[in-house]
Amino acid sequence: MQRVTNQMINNTMIYNLNKHQQEMDKMQDMLATGKNVQFPRDNPVAATNQMLYKTALVEIEQYIKNIDESKSKLSEVDSALQSVIRIFQRLRVLAVQGAHGIYTSFERKEAAATEINQMLEELVNIANIKGATGKPIFGGYQTGTENIPDPFVPIYQTLTAGNQGNAMIGVQYRGNIGKILREVANSEYLDVNVPGNWAFWATNQVLSANKDVSQYRALATQSFKIDGVSIQVAAGDTIDMVIDKINNAGLSVKASIGARNNLVLETTVPHAIWLEDESSGTFLRDAGMINPDFPNPPNNIDPTVSVSGMSIFDMVIQLRDDLVRGDQELVGGRDLGLIDMALDNVLRHIAAVGAKENRIEELAKRSEYAKSNILDILAKSEGIDFPETIMNFRWLESVHNYALAVGARSIKPTLMDFLR
């Protein structure tokens, strides 16, 4: 039989009291923080799960922020394009009136020219409008927020016809085709802008080079871009092989060989084609498509290239000039048809923006539900049951007090107790 000494009794009591105190301290921390895991060592599995839940929550909250920003940007684009539609509806009225001979007198021609010039100015203002971040919404992808140039630059000239004075005769696009992407779900991206060379174009564009490429053969592996899509050319590729690669690249551009054995590029959806040779590539220059002296876009098309196709600015300028000349046939035929084409193109972009807005709304609902679900799981994982924890704390407190009382009786008095 093991001998039990007073020291052993004292040590056991002190050990139990310390253990109770530690458990009470732990419960006090739980009650103070509302969390059942204070340190990973308390429950490694629960701590790991909580870290995963919190990481997922941070990601979802960022997706929600991206969704809100996407809503704002798409709303800005939609509002601007709706303004363009309203201007074109008025232009259509003017074209119909002009086709019926309303603007035959000099005064009426002058009034029509003045109104259309004002509309042109407003169209340029809309095209150069800046969003909440201070960046042009139709300028493509822009870095920074200061000293960003306007993407559309009007060209003026003094016009005596219709007593117009200094009037707009053209508009150049100097933005880019970069897409503004936002991650709205895990590995799910949405572009929230419409580059100006798409949004403000009225008809399909055709680029017809003035160079015979029938004997073309690539001397080295290279690449070039059409509308931002890279086309790879292998050493030894003929012009027919390159054309096949362009036509199979999923672009809104089709390539062909023209009557003079020249390269022809034509859009299938109205926009201005964006061309660039990549790094050391020279195919587009060799084919006579881009200017070797100014190879970088925009406005890098070789001056020998025959270019057809109109921006909405070109179309409005043409309508103005035809009205001032009093050419009712052109106004009622060609110009009215171009207005309808431009309207269709803008409406197509509005429909695409609307579809994205609908998708964003669904993503927002899904993200909010996921956030609520994770918060609920996290609360159950790391939160405590306050009534149960308080009850356990009271029980432990009672046990501790009983232990103190029992210990006071079980520890035998010593000589020192009497000396006190």
> 206: closest CA among 111, 135, 270, 140?
270
The pLDDT score that the predictor gives to residue 67 is 96
The pLDDT score that the predictor gives to residue 272 is 96
Run of H or E including 159: strand 152-159
The pLDDT score that the predictor gives to residue 98 is 86
For residue 36, pLDDT over 60 is answered with yes
The pLDDT score that the predictor gives to residue 84 is 97
Q: What are phi and psi of 100, to 5 degrees?
A: -100, 15
Q: What is the mean pLDDT of residues 135-160?
A: 87
Q: What is the mean pLDDT of residues 51-68?
A: 90
For residue 180, pLDDT over 70 is answered with yes
The pLDDT score that the predictor gives to residue 325 is 87
Residue 201 · residue 186 · CB < 8 Å: no
Run of H or E including 170: strand 165-173
For residue 375, pLDDT over 90 is answered with no
The pLDDT score that the predictor gives to residue 194 is 95
What is the spatial distance between Cα 410 and Cα 403, in angstroms, rounded to a whole number?
10
> Which residue has 């407003």 as its token pair?
122
Q: Tell me the residue type at 71.
A: K
Percent of the chain past pLDDT 90, that is, above it, reads 61
For residue 43, pLDDT over 90 is answered with no
pLDDT tens digits, 398-415 = 766 666 676 666 666 665
Residue 236 · residue 218 · CB < 8 Å: yes
Two structure tokens written together for 239: 């012009």
By three-state DSSP, how is residue 166 classified? strand
DSSP 149: P
Q: Peptide bond preceding 298: is omega within 30 degrees of 0, i.e. cis?
A: yes
The pLDDT score that the predictor gives to residue 112 is 85
pLDDT tens digits, 321-352 = 998 888 888 988 999 999 999 999 999 999 99
> Which residue has 């923006």 as its token pair?
353
The domain 53-201+310-370: what is its CATH number? 1.20.1330.10
For residue 161, pLDDT over 90 is answered with no
- Here the contacts of 81-87 (C-beta below 8 Å, separation 24 or greater) are 81/194, 81/199, 81/346, 81/349, 81/350, 81/353, 82/350, 83/122, 83/126, 84/123, 84/126, 84/200, 84/312, 84/346, 85/343, 85/346, 85/347, 85/350, 87/119, 87/122, 87/123, 87/126
For residue 1, pLDDT over 80 is answered with no
Q: Name 409's bridge partners.
A: none
Mean pLDDT score of the chain, rounded to an integer? Answer: 87
The pLDDT score that the predictor gives to residue 100 is 84
What is the spatial distance between Cα 380 and Cα 312, in angstroms, rounded to a whole number?
59
**pTM of this prediction?**
0.81
Q: How sure is the predictor about 5, in pLDDT bands with cuts at 50, 70 and 90?
A: low
The pLDDT score that the predictor gives to residue 165 is 77
Cα R_g (the chain), whole angstroms? 38
Domain extent listing, the chain: 53-201+310-370, 206-308
What is the spatial distance between Cα 238 and Cα 248, in angstroms, rounded to a whole number?
16
> Which residue has 């960022």 as its token pair?
62
The pLDDT score that the predictor gives to residue 382 is 65
Neighbours of 284 (CB within 10 A): 26
Q: How sure is the predictor about 389, in pLDDT bands with cuts at 50, 70 and 90?
A: low
What is the spatial distance between Cα 391 and Cα 397, in angstroms, rounded to a whole number?
10
What is the spatial distance between Cα 72 and Cα 75, in angstroms, rounded to a whole number?
5
